[in-house]
């Protein structure tokens, strides 16, 4: 090697041997250029040549070589200074480790403001003689934050250094392996455990909001324990659009039960090139979750275990209440609607109890939402983690508990509990002769979760307690004179007390879920860097749901004469078995290869369900509501019992990947995966999913040297790939036979029933894989001494051959199968900016990310080019609200555009088409002006257009972290822009006595009073029954989702037996900037998610996220 730096020479030695160098470049000059020519020389000879003219010596510890000044562990100080100070010096000792407890050999320990210092040995230990008047020590290590510690008379120092790296040399998960971040060619993003844990959320999904560009996370409802709608780079299908979750290498997991404290990192694979290694289920992206593992020690013998405890307790409250009309306002509105409908005024005195108190203003009526709200609902989290390891083994143990109560539900509010256990361990059974690499290694990953949950109605208008409390008349009192729930009043004999109805019909229930996930693996490395790995994963899940419905009588239509007990249970498992062989090698230190080949087998649906319902329990409370306590078997259909097997299925896969780089400058990755799924018939069973990607690290080029002061790192990435989706019920290619509800009678004897059978779906032998194809171009860059980070990605994702259930005529007499029924395109840009710096004791970093996505359906395989949504979503009697249609985004809102409100009857007469036809001849002043979009002079279904889009154009995230002398502050925000919400909190057509929200005060009630909301009508009328843009609201918002402030009291209490004693306070859902009139602009949906998972942004009584204040402590031993 000629005229090259010592650092380059050391790197070459590391690549050609098993040795690694540890040094501090402030004490050892590795920038000096040398010329070295050796062949088959001992490392000692090479080092002696390198440092012949330098006062540097080396120490060999196993396969590590520590370089240090020749004074070794004595003062780095001139002889004159030494003579002057020796009489006034004293000795200190200590140890330097990283945050996980692993020692840091070669760390620099210096008395601040002097040249007196030393370096740590292989175990991280140091000793140093310092002047008696020395004030502070500075401890530094490459890639770690410099720590400054007051000496204050101490003689023993145990120092923990935190990471400070731009992340390029860190490794990220890429599927069946890891890779240096600087060498990745796909669009990935990683979130580490400290970013998740610091937010103190119950679910890790909540913590990911705002941190991951391209990842859209919306909670299905704000109820405790509810799931999330997660999409990567837009909605890709009307079927299952959820990304694949892979936990510790086992696909098919769920983050719903995983405690944040168990997570080491989360890697999101966004483009097809990154996700193609998972082929068959990666059409919607992949989320790789790595749970915490122990750390292997350097020295012989076991290492001290690190114990951490994180606990918090807080209260939750409703952030914003939906205001409803009080009794006086309601009475005025009802009479106004009757006048407008040419009906007589109501006789309130004869229909409403205590009308005189309402009329006088003494009583404002019942605010049913107030009755539903729970103030200061408690929430707590506790997590205990123990990690450790020795020379040949590691372990990580985690125990956690979470408890969250809901902010709605009154006497039977929602409640969620989670108990979790995790144990990860790894064991080296055999090392090679020279003790430089592991030959045989085994390990396991084990997680167990037990959850319980109780909830209220959060579905559509027929099963939604928030909706019921919004629409119930304020005239109805909560309690009667005996303190019991009040019966319906003459004002509306059919209207039941909504709190009583919630408690009796939905309040006594409890669900239990048991989830056991485990995997074991063995790794064999016969020669260095050739690794065979076999892993078997197993998931066992069981669930139980039990409910009790007592007898009640609340109105003329809401009553039950017999109590009822229901109990459902399910139990089953799935397994995966994966085998990979990986070889990592290079040619001439220039061409680096990493070659992976593997196979995977998976089987699911190995389980069964059983359910039963019966009436007349011998006990009258939930505690004893078991089917055994309903001993009478009834023949009238009230006794029901059924059981069924799960739908079995499986996948067999073969895959391979080649990673190549030339001088860590030019990077290339090729992936191919073949999947065979039991969901498809022979001939269509196998899908093949390739990807190719490349990268160019431009800053490694010689022509970039002149810009080295500006660009610290610059990489260009390009990728193309395909992924698949097969998430449909089994056997759609067959005409399966059903025996359910098919009874026949033959002859005159109707008492003798024969069981029949029929084909319950039409077969589709041609059904095959849904395929997602994606192109991605990206740039990764760091500027200004790595303080400014920049990431940019442009993508175009086309999902082909949707897996959707076809429509068919009822005359067919059977159900429709799934078909490959459409295509959709998502196109967008993602930008992430970060800035991080340290100014003396002040350390900070700020990150901002923005994602833009445009969704458009390009093909639907029917004559209309439409997948229709259901009727009656905004209210009984309303027509279709959302659909998927060629040329529009998935789930867009369809209805009538309005041009305002007719202010006078003259305006009605003057509203004509181009031929002079009056368009709305039956309208009067105060009615809506519906746009005649096709110009035919008639308002009809043909005039409906796109009136809103629930898919945001922009999703943004903000995260800021500040640290100063033990204080820390983190701020996380997220938002979405360019989308709309459809909202309706009243059944206008069939329930004229429903209450109103105060937004109705903006209605038309005379010329010039309103040009958006029409006059009130008592009963059905196009003004309020037609789906139009008066129900569509701007949903733009930005939310300060998490603010956490903490202080580590270890800074003050040096002698406490903790490595950390941090107290913190956290605010969640702190403030939302929005003009949306509802309770929460971040809406999944409050409609039918099971049949229409692609529907979102619909608010007919959405359970909002609470505002939470938590206090807690983090302790490390």
CA angle 170–174–177, rounded 5-degree value: 85
Q: Is the pLDDT of residue 567 over 70?
A: yes
DSSP 3-state of 125: strand
CA distance linking residue 885 with residue 856, whole number of Å: 9
Going by pLDDT thresholds of 50, 70 and 90, the confidence category of residue 40 is: low
User: Three-state SS across 742-760?
Assistant: CEECCCCCCCCCEECCEEC
pLDDT of residue 299: 39
pLDDT of residue 198: 85
Predicted confidence (pLDDT) per residue in 11-35, tens digit: 777 666 656 676 766 677 777 777 6
pLDDT of residue 910: 95
* Residue whose pair of structure tokens reads 């409390």 in the numeric block: 469
Beta strands in 410-500 (DSSP E): 415-431, 438-454
Phi and psi angles of residue 50, each rounded to the nearest 5 degrees, phi first: -65, -40
Q: Where is pLDDT greater, at 439 or 76?
A: 439
Which of 727, 829, 679 is closest to 243 using CA atoms? 727
pLDDT of residue 79: 43
Beta-sheet pairing, 244-247 with 286-291:
parallel
Q: Where is pLDDT greater, at 533 or 17?
A: 533
Q: Are residues 894 and 929 in contact, defined by beta-carbon separation less than 8 angstroms?
A: no
Q: What's the whole-number mean pLDDT along residues 31-59?
A: 69
Going by pLDDT thresholds of 50, 70 and 90, the confidence category of residue 976 is: very high
Q: Where is pLDDT greater, at 61 or 916?
A: 916
pLDDT of residue 54: 72
* Domain 1-70 fold: Phage tail protein beta-alpha-beta fold (3.55.50)
Q: What's the whole-number mean pLDDT along residues 929-937?
A: 95
Going by pLDDT thresholds of 50, 70 and 90, the confidence category of residue 414 is: very high
Contacts of 703 (CB under 8 A, 6+ apart): none
Extents of the domains making up the chain: 1-70, 71-164, 174-291, 733-763
pLDDT of residue 5: 77
Mean pLDDT, rounded, of the chain = 88
Q: Is the pLDDT of residue 1086 over 80?
A: no
Residue 936, both tokens? 């035919």
Predicted confidence (pLDDT) per residue in 325-347, tens digit: 999 999 999 999 999 999 999 99
Predicted confidence (pLDDT) per residue in 869-881, tens digit: 999 999 889 999 9
Q: Is the pLDDT of residue 645 over 80?
A: yes
Half-sphere exposure of 820 (CA within 13 A, CB side): 17
pLDDT of residue 665: 93
CA distance linking residue 608 with residue 642, whole number of Å: 11
pLDDT of residue 794: 97
For residue 388, what are the β-bridge partners? Answer: 395
CA distance linking residue 780 with residue 957, whole number of Å: 18
Phi and psi angles of residue 992, each rounded to the nearest 5 degrees, phi first: -65, -15
- Answer whether CATH 3.40.190.10 is correct for domain 174-291: no
Which of 1076, 1077, 1085 is closest to 1103 using CA atoms? 1085
Predicted confidence (pLDDT) per residue in 752-768, tens digit: 777 888 888 888 899 99
Q: Is the pLDDT of residue 355 over 70?
A: yes
User: Three-state SS across 186-201?
Assistant: CCEEEEEHHHHHCCCC
pLDDT of residue 237: 85
pLDDT of residue 158: 87
* Residue whose pair of structure tokens reads 């109707």 in the numeric block: 750
Residue 147, both tokens? 């720590």
Instruction: For residue 762, give the DSSP letter.
Output: -
pLDDT of residue 1068: 95
CA angle 378–454–643, rounded 5-degree value: 160
Q: Is there a shared CATH topology between the 71-164 domain and the 174-291 domain? A: no
CA 1097 to chain centre: 18
Contacts of 96 (CB under 8 A, 6+ apart): 103, 104, 107, 109, 120, 124, 126, 139, 141, 159, 160, 161
pLDDT of residue 72: 40
Query: Exposed/middle/buried for 433, CB within 10 Å: 0-12, 13-18, 19+?
Result: exposed
Phi and psi angles of residue 358, each rounded to the nearest 5 degrees, phi first: -70, -45
CA distance linking residue 950 with residue 899, whole number of Å: 22
* Residue whose pair of structure tokens reads 């039956």 in the numeric block: 922
Which of 692, 562, 715 is closest to 168 using CA atoms? 715
* Distance separating the N- and C-terminal Cα atoms of the chain: 48
Q: Are residues 677 and 280 in contact, defined by beta-carbon separation less than 8 angstroms?
A: yes
pLDDT of residue 1010: 96
CA distance linking residue 160 with residue 144, whole number of Å: 10
Q: What's the whole-number mean pLDDT along residues 171-176?
A: 82
Residue 805, both tokens? 């259930």
Phi and psi angles of residue 216, each rounded to the nearest 5 degrees, phi first: -100, 120
Which of 720, 721, 717 is closest to 661 using CA atoms? 717
- Answer whether CATH 2.60.40.1120 is correct for domain 71-164: yes
pLDDT of residue 809: 62
Q: Is the pLDDT of residue 301 over 60?
A: no
Predicted confidence (pLDDT) per residue in 130-151, tens digit: 888 888 888 887 556 778 888 8
CA distance linking residue 757 with residue 737, whole number of Å: 6
Q: Are residues 924 and 911 in contact, defined by beta-carbon separation less than 8 angstroms?
A: no
Q: Is the pLDDT of residue 71 over 70?
A: no
Predicted confidence (pLDDT) per residue in 1011-1035, tens digit: 999 999 999 999 999 999 999 999 9
Helices (H), 739-836: none
Lowest-confidence pick of 96-100, 439-443, 781-785, 955-959: 96-100
Region of residue 1110 (phi > 0: left; psi between -120 and 50: alpha; otherwise: beta) = beta
Helices (H), 1019-1107: 1022-1025
Going by pLDDT thresholds of 50, 70 and 90, the confidence category of residue 980 is: very high
Cα 296 to Cα 394, 731, 813, distances in angstroms: 6, 48, 65
Q: Is the pLDDT of residue 78 over 80?
A: no
Beta-sheet pairing, 1098-1099 with 980-983:
parallel
pLDDT of residue 64: 62
Beta-sheet pairing, 967-977 with 1037-1048:
antiparallel
């Amino acid at each position: 090697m000629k005229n090259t730096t010592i650092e380059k020479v050391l790197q070459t030695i590391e690549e050609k041997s098993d040795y690694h160098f540890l040094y501090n470049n402030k004490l050892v000059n590795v920038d000096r250029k040398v010329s070295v020519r050796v062949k088959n020389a001992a490392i000692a000879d090479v080092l002696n040549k390198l440092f012949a003219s330098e006062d540097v010596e080396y120490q060999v510890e196993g396969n590590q070589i520590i370089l240090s000044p020749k004074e070794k562990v004595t003062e780095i100080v001139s002889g004159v200074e030494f003579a002057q100070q020796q009489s006034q010096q004293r000795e200190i000792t200590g140890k330097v480790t990283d945050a996980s407890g692993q020692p840091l050999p070669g760390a620099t320990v210096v008395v601040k403001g002097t040249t007196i210092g030393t370096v740590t040995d292989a175990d991280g230990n140091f000793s140093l003689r310092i002047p008696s008047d020395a004030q502070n020590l500075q401890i530094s290590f490459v890639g770690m934050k410099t720590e400054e510690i007051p000496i204050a008379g101490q003689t023993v120092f145990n120092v923990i250094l935190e990471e400070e790296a731009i992340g390029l040399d860190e490794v990220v998960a890429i599927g069946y392996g890891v890779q240096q971040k600087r060498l990745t060619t796909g669009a990935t993003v990683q979130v580490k455990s400290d970013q998740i844990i610091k937010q103190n959320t119950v679910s890790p999904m909540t913590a990911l909001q705002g941190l991951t560009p391209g990842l859209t996370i919306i909670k299905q409802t704000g109820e405790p324990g509810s799931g999330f709608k997660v999409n990567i780079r837009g909605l890709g299908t009307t079927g299952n659009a959820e990304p694949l979750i892979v936990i510790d290498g086992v696909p098919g997991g769920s983050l719903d039960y995983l405690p944040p404290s168990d997570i080491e990192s989360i890697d999101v694979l966004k483009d097809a090139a990154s996700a193609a290694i998972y082929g068959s289920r990666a059409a919607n992206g992949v989320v790789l979750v790595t749970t915490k593992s122990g750390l292997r020690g350097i020295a012989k013998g076991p290492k001290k275990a690190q114990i951490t405890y994180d606990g918090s307790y807080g209260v939750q409250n409703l952030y914003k209440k939906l205001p409803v009309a009080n009794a006086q306002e309601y009475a005025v509105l009802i009479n106004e609607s009757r006048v407008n409908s040419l009906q007589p005024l109501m006789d309130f005195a004869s229909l409403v109890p205590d009308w005189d108190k309402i009329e006088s203003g003494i009583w404002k009526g019942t605010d049913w939402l107030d009755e539903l709200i729970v103030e200061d609902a408690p929430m707590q989290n506790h997590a205990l983690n123990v990690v450790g390891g020795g020379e040949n083994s590691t372990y990580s143990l985690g125990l956690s508990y979470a408890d969250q109560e809901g902010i709605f539900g009154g006497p039977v509010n929602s409640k969620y509990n989670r108990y979790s256990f995790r144990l990860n361990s790894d064991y080296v059974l055999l090392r090679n002769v020279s003790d430089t690499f592991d030959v045989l290694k085994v390990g396991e990953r084990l997680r167990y979760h037990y959850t319980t949950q109780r909830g209220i109605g959060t579905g559509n208008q027929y099963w939604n307690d928030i909706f019921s409390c919004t629409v119930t008349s304020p005239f109805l009192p909560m309690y009667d004179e005996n303190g019991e729930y009040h019966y319906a009043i003459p004002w509306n004999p059919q209207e039941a007390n909504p709190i009583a109805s919630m408690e009796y019909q939905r309040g006594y229930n409890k669900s239990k879920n048991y989830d056991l996930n485990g995997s074991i693996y063995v790794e064999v490395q016969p020669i260095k860097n050739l690794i065979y790995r076999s892993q078997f994963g197993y998931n066992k899940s069981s669930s139980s749901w039990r409910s009790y419905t007592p007898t009640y009588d609340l109105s003329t239509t809401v009553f039950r004469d017999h109590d009822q007990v229901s109990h459902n249970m399910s139990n089953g498992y799935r397994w995966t078995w994966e085998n990979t062989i990986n070889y990592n090698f290079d040619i001439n230190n220039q061409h680096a290869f990493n070659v992976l080949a593997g196979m995977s087998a998976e089987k699911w649906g190995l389980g069964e369900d059983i359910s039963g319902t019966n009436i007349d329990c011998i006990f009258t409370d939930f505690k004893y509501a078991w089917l055994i306590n309903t001993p009478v078997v009834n023949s009238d259909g009230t006794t029901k019992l059924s059981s069924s097997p799960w739908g079995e299925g499986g996948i067999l896969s073969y895959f391979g990947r080649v990673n190549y780089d030339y001088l860590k400058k030019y990077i290339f990755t090729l992936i191919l995966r073949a999947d065979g799924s039991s969901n498809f018939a022979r001939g269509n069973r196998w899908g093949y999913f390739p990807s190719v990607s490349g990268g160019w690290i431009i800053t490694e080029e010689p022509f970039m040297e002149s810009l080295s002061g500006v660009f610290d790192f610059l990489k260009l990435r390009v990728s193309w790939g395909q992924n698949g989706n097969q998430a449909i019920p089994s056997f759609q290619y067959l005409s399966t036979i059903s025996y359910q509800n098919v009874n026949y009678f033959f002859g005159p004897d109707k008492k003798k029933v024969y069981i029949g059978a029929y084909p319950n779906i039409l077969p589709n032998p041609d059904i095959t894989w849904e395929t997602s194809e994606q192109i991605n171009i990206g740039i990764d860059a760091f500027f200004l001494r790595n303080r400014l980070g920049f990431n940019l990605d442009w993508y175009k994702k086309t999902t082909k051959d949707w897996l959707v259930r076809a429509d068919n005529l009822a005359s067919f007499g059977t159900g429709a199968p799934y078909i490959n029924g459409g295509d959709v395109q998502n196109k967008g840009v993602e930008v992430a900016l970060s800035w991080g710096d340290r100014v003396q004791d002040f350390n900070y970093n700020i990150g901002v990310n923005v994602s833009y996505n445009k969704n458009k359906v390009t093909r639907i395989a029917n004559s209309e080019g439409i997948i229709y949504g259901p009727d009656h979503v905004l209210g009984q009697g309303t027509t279709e609200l959302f659909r998927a249609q060629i040329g529009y985004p998935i789930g867009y809102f369809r209805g009538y555009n309005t041009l305002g409100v007719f202010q006078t009857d003259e305006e009605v007469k003057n509203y004509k088409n181009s031929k002079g036809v009056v368009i709305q001849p039956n309208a009067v002043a105060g009615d809506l002006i519906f746009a005649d979009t096709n110009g035919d002079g008639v308002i009809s279904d043909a005039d409906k257009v796109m009136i809103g889009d629930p898919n945001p154009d922009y999703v943004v995230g903000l995260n800021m972290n500040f640290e100063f002398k033990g204080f820390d502050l983190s701020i996380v925000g997220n938002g979405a822009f360019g989308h709309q919400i459809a909202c309706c909190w009243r059944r206008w057509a069939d329930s004229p006595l429903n209450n109103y929200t105060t937004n109705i005060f903006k209605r038309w009630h005379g010329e010039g009073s309103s040009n958006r909301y029409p006059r009130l009508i008592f009963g059905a009328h196009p003004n309020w029954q037609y789906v139009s843009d008066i129900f569509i609201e701007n949903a733009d918002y930005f939310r300060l989702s998490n603010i956490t402030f903490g202080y580590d009291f270890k800074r003050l209490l040096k002698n406490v037996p903790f490595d950390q004693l941090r107290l913190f306070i956290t605010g969640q859902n702190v403030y939302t900037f929005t003009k949306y009139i509802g309770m929460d602009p971040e809406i999944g949906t409050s409609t039918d998610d099971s049949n229409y998972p692609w529907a979102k942004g619909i608010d007919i009584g959405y359970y909002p996220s609470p505002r939470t204040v938590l206090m807690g402590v983090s302790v490390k031993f």
